[in-house]
Structure 1
Amino acid sequence: MVWTSAWLHGAAAADDVLDASQEWGELHEVVVADQGTATALDLPTRDEPPAALAMLLAALRQYGASAGRIVLPVPGDVRGLDGKSEFAAEAIRVGDAAVFAGLGLVPDRVADGVVRWTVYDLPVTPPQAPEPIGAADRELSEAMRAAAGTLASLDVARDRPNVRAEIAERVASTGAWPAAMPQRSLRVLQRANELAAILELAAEDEPGGAVSASAALQRADALRPLSDAVRAARRAAVQEAVSVLTDHADRH
């Protein structure tokens, strides 16, 4: 989303976007959910051989797409989705989507190293008010403090002696950002990525250091608000980055 929005406004080269996409998967393929939109964008439908990511970029520019936003929905928290639709259902299933005016993009990992982007036609809606990044950052800190005591008592990841190295490795794999990326967005994304890595390790733990069903429920209750805060922080940081990058590009 950040790279694509930067490219649409001349703040990044197409090759930079394609290079950055390699952090997500070695192969990116693109299909469209309906025939009408496929024809309008000159992209294949799901029953045809998929297109390359470069063709999606070209289609977005031809379509007149501008700065977009990310959607990180989960059951019970579908902020950014409007109503019930195939796009909304797929975005919730995958837990990730990008929205441009009139278009929704869902990235699905269909095989090891393969990401398939499905494009959906969406009704054009008024721009949503941005989530304040400062409030999202504070929410992240508050969720960390609230969860810390419970997680310590449950001894999450107690059997992972190299847990700090594992977290650092996962955070390092999140990739690079455009040169003009605002520092506040980077800082919030870094914190969110570190916490996301902790959540992933806790989920992989067997069963997260919990020794009873009640302790497992405690752990789930402690992690849930932290997961919500991570998603909110990522949305707000990306929104601010897109806004800053597009404003910067428009001034030049």
Structure 2
Amino acid sequence: MVVWTSAWLHGAAASDDLLDALQTWAESQEVLAADEDLAARLDLPGPQETPAGPALLLAALRKAGAGGGQLVLPVPGDARGLGGSSPFAKLAMRVGEAVVLPQAGIGLVPQRIAEGILRWTVFGIGDLPPAEHLPIGEAEHGMASAMREAASTLVDLGVAKHRPGVREEIAQTISARPAPPWPEGVPQRTLRILQRATEVEAILWVATDDAPGGALSASAIRGRTEALRPLFDAVRAARRSSVAEMVRVLGDHAEKP
């Protein structure tokens, strides 16, 4: 949503292409404003009304003067990009992801409310602190370094044990994640880093699955959690940095004559 919306707002993608791309995540998309005042300002249905389709959201973003978006991936203990305790921040933290459109003062939070149905709730967010800038190369290096350190620590703790079928588990986890199309012009490097982040995350989920042969004692689980936390953080940082770089490049292309 961040990349495609930014591409569309900068004239680098058609609205139909954006709407088609969203269907990768759910066949049906619906939109609601979080409160009545925002609903009236953006011509969106309010929280007690029948949701609208995503095409109405695009019209609302254009009306609000939205520009390039930002990806927010909050977790407990890391609320960067949310700007304090607000209805937007609380829902984004619970869901674990959100879109911030700072020029329009709007935040979007996706929720899967039923099989095949994704709801986008639109919030007014006011002024937020500037997004933290992490160069794409630094993010890529950080993920690789965190992976090496986590592997070494797990070996030292004695919890990096082989179990049958682990490669197949990782492959299945990767294949289960939707693979959306991307607008023309996004850097290939960012796509490679996003793919690597998906692969590393799959390894992490398999590593934290306490199947037979996994880390079962309380002390081993605590050690494993501490060892893997920096790698989870590095994956999130790589995703945020890749998306920010895509948005930057799309914006730069739009400004060229």
Q: Smaller-chain TM-score range?
A: over 0.9
Match of 2:90 in 1: 89
* 1:163 alignment partner in structure 2: 169
Unaligned runs of 5+ in 2: none
Corresponding residue for residue 184 of structure 2: 179
Normalising to structure 2: TM-score of the pair?
A: 0.90
Q: Which residue of 2 aligns with 1:202?
A: 207
* Aligned equivalent of 1:140: 143
CA 1:157–1:60: 2 relative to 1, 3 Å = farther
Which residue matches 2:63?
62
The answer to whether the 8 A contact 1:99-1:105 is kept is: yes
The aligned counterpart of 2:49 is: 48
- Alpha carbons of structure 1 residues 49 and 181: separation in structure 2 relative to 1, 3 Å: same
- Indicate how the Cα distance of structure 1 residues 164 and 88 shifts in structure 2: closer, same or farther if over 3 A, else same: closer
How far residue 25 of structure 1 moved from its aligned partner, in angstroms, is: 1.1
**Structure 2 residue aligned with 1:239, among 239, 244, 250?**
244
| More moved, 199-208 vs 131-140 | 199-208
In 1, Cα distance between the equivalents of 2:76 and 2:116? 26
Determine the structure 2 residue equivalent to 1:221: 226
Report what 1:6 is aligned to.
7
The DSSP-based 3-state class of the residue aligned with 1:191 is helix
Write the letter of the residue equivalent to 1:86: P
CA distance in 2: counterparts of 1:122 and 1:50, whole angstroms:
20
Contact 1:157 1:163 in 2 (8 A): no
Moved more, 151-160 or 99-108: 151-160
Secondary structure in 1 matching 2:109: strand
**RMSD of aligned Cα (Å):** 1.9
Q: In 1, are the aligned partners of 2:83 and 2:129 still within 8 Å (CA)?
A: no
**Percent pairwise identity:** 54
Once the 2 structures are TM-superposed, how far is the Cα of residue 160 of structure 1 from its aligned partner? 3.1
- Alignment map for 1:16-31 (pairs within 5 Å): 16-31=17-32
Find the residue that maps to 1:154 and give its secondary structure: coil
Tell me if the contact between 2:69 and 2:101 (Cα under 8 Å) persists in the aligned partners: yes
Deviation at 1:206, TM superposition (A): 2.9
Q: Report deviation, 1:130.
A: 2.2
Structure 1, residues 201-222: CA drift from partner, whole Å, max 9, x if none?
3344437811322111122112
Does residue 123 in structure 1 map to residue 120 in structure 2?
Answer: no
What TM-score does the superposition give when structure 1 sets the normalisation length? 0.92
Segment drifting more, 45-54 vs 121-130:
121-130
Secondary structure of the residue aligned to 1:106 is: strand
- Which amino acid in the other structure matches residue 188 of structure 1? I
